[in-house]
Protein backbone atom coordinates (compact mmCIF):
# COMPACT_ATOMS: atom_id res chain seq x y z
CA UNK A 1 0.00 0.00 0.00
CA UNK A 2 1.38 3.39 -1.04
CA UNK A 3 1.34 5.99 1.74
CA UNK A 4 1.57 9.77 1.97
CA UNK A 5 5.22 9.36 3.02
CA UNK A 6 5.89 7.45 -0.22
CA UNK A 7 4.63 10.23 -2.49
CA UNK A 8 5.53 13.39 -0.53
CA UNK A 9 8.36 15.75 -1.24
CA UNK A 10 10.52 15.37 1.89
CA UNK A 11 12.29 18.13 3.75
CA UNK A 12 9.50 20.69 3.98
CA UNK A 13 10.21 23.62 6.28
CA UNK A 14 8.01 25.76 8.50
CA UNK A 15 8.04 29.51 8.49
CA UNK A 16 6.96 31.31 11.68
CA UNK A 17 3.73 33.31 11.50
CA UNK A 18 5.73 36.33 12.71
CA UNK A 19 8.12 36.21 9.74
CA UNK A 20 7.63 38.76 6.96
CA UNK A 21 6.53 37.90 3.44
CA UNK A 22 9.80 39.03 1.87
CA UNK A 23 11.60 36.47 4.06
CA UNK A 24 9.03 33.84 3.08
CA UNK A 25 9.66 34.58 -0.60
CA UNK A 26 13.42 34.30 -0.06
CA UNK A 27 12.99 30.92 1.68
CA UNK A 28 10.70 29.69 -1.11
CA UNK A 29 13.30 30.69 -3.70
CA UNK A 30 16.10 28.99 -1.77
CA UNK A 31 14.08 25.78 -1.36
CA UNK A 32 12.59 25.99 -4.88
CA UNK A 33 9.03 25.63 -3.56
CA UNK A 34 5.84 27.61 -4.01
CA UNK A 35 4.36 27.15 -0.54
CA UNK A 36 5.41 27.01 3.09
CA UNK A 37 3.48 25.79 6.12
CA UNK A 38 3.14 28.58 8.67
CA UNK A 39 3.75 27.80 12.35
CA UNK A 40 2.03 29.69 15.13
CA UNK A 41 3.39 30.56 18.56
CA UNK A 42 2.50 27.11 19.85
CA UNK A 43 4.58 25.54 17.04
CA UNK A 44 1.42 24.15 15.49
CA UNK A 45 0.41 24.76 11.91
CA UNK A 46 -1.42 28.07 11.48
CA UNK A 47 -1.85 27.78 7.72
CA UNK A 48 0.07 27.76 4.47
CA UNK A 49 1.51 30.72 2.61
CA UNK A 50 1.97 30.50 -1.16
CA UNK A 51 3.91 32.53 -3.67
CA UNK A 52 0.54 33.49 -5.18
CA UNK A 53 -0.69 34.74 -1.78
CA UNK A 54 2.32 37.04 -1.58
CA UNK A 55 1.68 38.48 -5.03
CA UNK A 56 -2.12 38.72 -5.00
CA UNK A 57 -2.85 39.50 -1.35
CA UNK A 58 0.13 41.74 -0.63
CA UNK A 59 2.06 43.17 -3.58
CA UNK A 60 -0.91 43.65 -5.93
CA UNK A 61 -2.71 45.54 -3.16
CA UNK A 62 0.21 47.92 -2.71
CA UNK A 63 1.40 46.49 0.61
CA UNK A 64 5.08 46.18 1.53
CA UNK A 65 6.08 42.49 1.87
CA UNK A 66 8.76 43.49 4.37
CA UNK A 67 6.03 44.75 6.70
CA UNK A 68 3.32 42.10 6.26
CA UNK A 69 3.73 38.82 8.14
CA UNK A 70 2.93 35.28 7.08
CA UNK A 71 0.41 35.14 9.91
CA UNK A 72 -1.41 38.12 8.42
CA UNK A 73 -2.18 36.06 5.30
CA UNK A 74 -2.61 32.58 6.81
CA UNK A 75 -6.33 31.89 6.46
CA UNK A 76 -8.75 29.10 7.17
CA UNK A 77 -8.34 25.84 9.03
CA UNK A 78 -4.94 24.25 8.39
CA UNK A 79 -5.17 20.89 6.66
CA UNK A 80 -2.58 18.13 6.90
CA UNK A 81 -2.25 14.36 6.53
CA UNK A 82 -0.46 11.72 8.56
CA UNK A 83 2.57 10.14 6.86
CA UNK A 84 0.95 6.69 7.13
CA UNK A 85 -2.27 7.73 5.36
CA UNK A 86 -3.09 6.03 2.07
CA UNK A 87 -3.04 7.78 -1.29
CA UNK A 88 -6.84 7.50 -1.30
CA UNK A 89 -6.88 9.41 2.01
CA UNK A 90 -4.56 12.06 0.54
CA UNK A 91 -6.83 12.50 -2.48
CA UNK A 92 -9.93 12.68 -0.30
CA UNK A 93 -8.39 15.37 1.93
CA UNK A 94 -7.19 17.47 -0.99
CA UNK A 95 -10.38 17.07 -3.03
CA UNK A 96 -12.85 17.66 -0.21
CA UNK A 97 -11.09 20.88 0.83
CA UNK A 98 -10.09 21.93 -2.71
CA UNK A 99 -6.42 22.29 -1.83
CA UNK A 100 -3.37 21.83 -4.03
CA UNK A 101 -0.70 21.32 -1.37
CA UNK A 102 -0.87 19.17 1.74
CA UNK A 103 1.65 19.07 4.60
CA UNK A 104 2.61 15.59 5.81
CA UNK A 105 3.02 15.06 9.56
CA UNK A 106 4.65 12.17 11.43
CA UNK A 107 4.84 12.07 15.23
CA UNK A 108 3.60 15.69 15.34
CA UNK A 109 6.50 16.86 13.15
CA UNK A 110 6.43 18.21 9.61
CA UNK A 111 8.17 15.67 7.35
CA UNK A 112 7.10 16.72 3.86
CA UNK A 113 4.56 18.22 1.48
CA UNK A 114 2.40 16.69 -1.20
CA UNK A 115 1.64 18.82 -4.25
CA UNK A 116 -0.15 18.25 -7.52
CA UNK A 117 3.20 17.38 -9.11
CA UNK A 118 3.68 14.58 -6.59
CA UNK A 119 0.24 13.18 -7.42
CA UNK A 120 0.90 13.07 -11.16
CA UNK A 121 3.51 10.33 -10.82
CA UNK A 122 1.70 8.31 -8.14
CA UNK A 123 -1.98 8.10 -9.05
CA UNK A 124 -3.91 6.66 -11.97
CA UNK A 125 -5.11 8.83 -14.82
CA UNK A 126 -8.68 8.41 -13.55
CA UNK A 127 -7.72 9.49 -10.02
CA UNK A 128 -5.89 12.49 -11.43
CA UNK A 129 -8.86 13.48 -13.58
CA UNK A 130 -11.18 13.24 -10.57
CA UNK A 131 -8.74 15.32 -8.50
CA UNK A 132 -8.58 18.07 -11.12
CA UNK A 133 -12.36 18.13 -11.51
CA UNK A 134 -12.99 18.37 -7.75
CA UNK A 135 -10.19 20.75 -6.80
CA UNK A 136 -10.64 23.17 -9.67
CA UNK A 137 -14.44 23.06 -9.76
CA UNK A 138 -16.08 26.35 -8.89
CA UNK A 139 -18.25 26.09 -5.83
**Residue 12: predicted pLDDT:** 87
Q: In which band, very low, low, confident or very high, does the pLDDT at 139 lie, cut at 50, 70 and 90?
A: low
Distance of CA 132 to the CA centre of its chain: 16
Q: Are 16 and 70 in contact (CB under 8 A)?
A: yes
Q: In which band, very low, low, confident or very high, does the pLDDT at 71 lie, cut at 50, 70 and 90?
A: very high
Burial of 8 (0-12, 13-18, 19+ CB in 10 A): buried
Q: How many CB atoms lie within 10 A of CB 113?
A: 23
Sheet holding 101-106, edge to edge: 9-10, 109-115, 101-106, 81-82
pLDDT, mean of residues 46-74: 94
How far apart (Å, rounded) are the C-alpha atoms in residues 63 and 92?
Answer: 36
The beta strands (E) that lie in the chain are given as: 9-10, 15-16, 35-39, 45-50, 81-82, 101-106, 109-115
pTM of the model: 0.86
Amino acid sequence: MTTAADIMHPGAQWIPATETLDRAAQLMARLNVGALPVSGRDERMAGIITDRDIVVKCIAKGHDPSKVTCGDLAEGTPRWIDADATVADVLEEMESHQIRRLPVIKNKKLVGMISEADLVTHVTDRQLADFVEKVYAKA
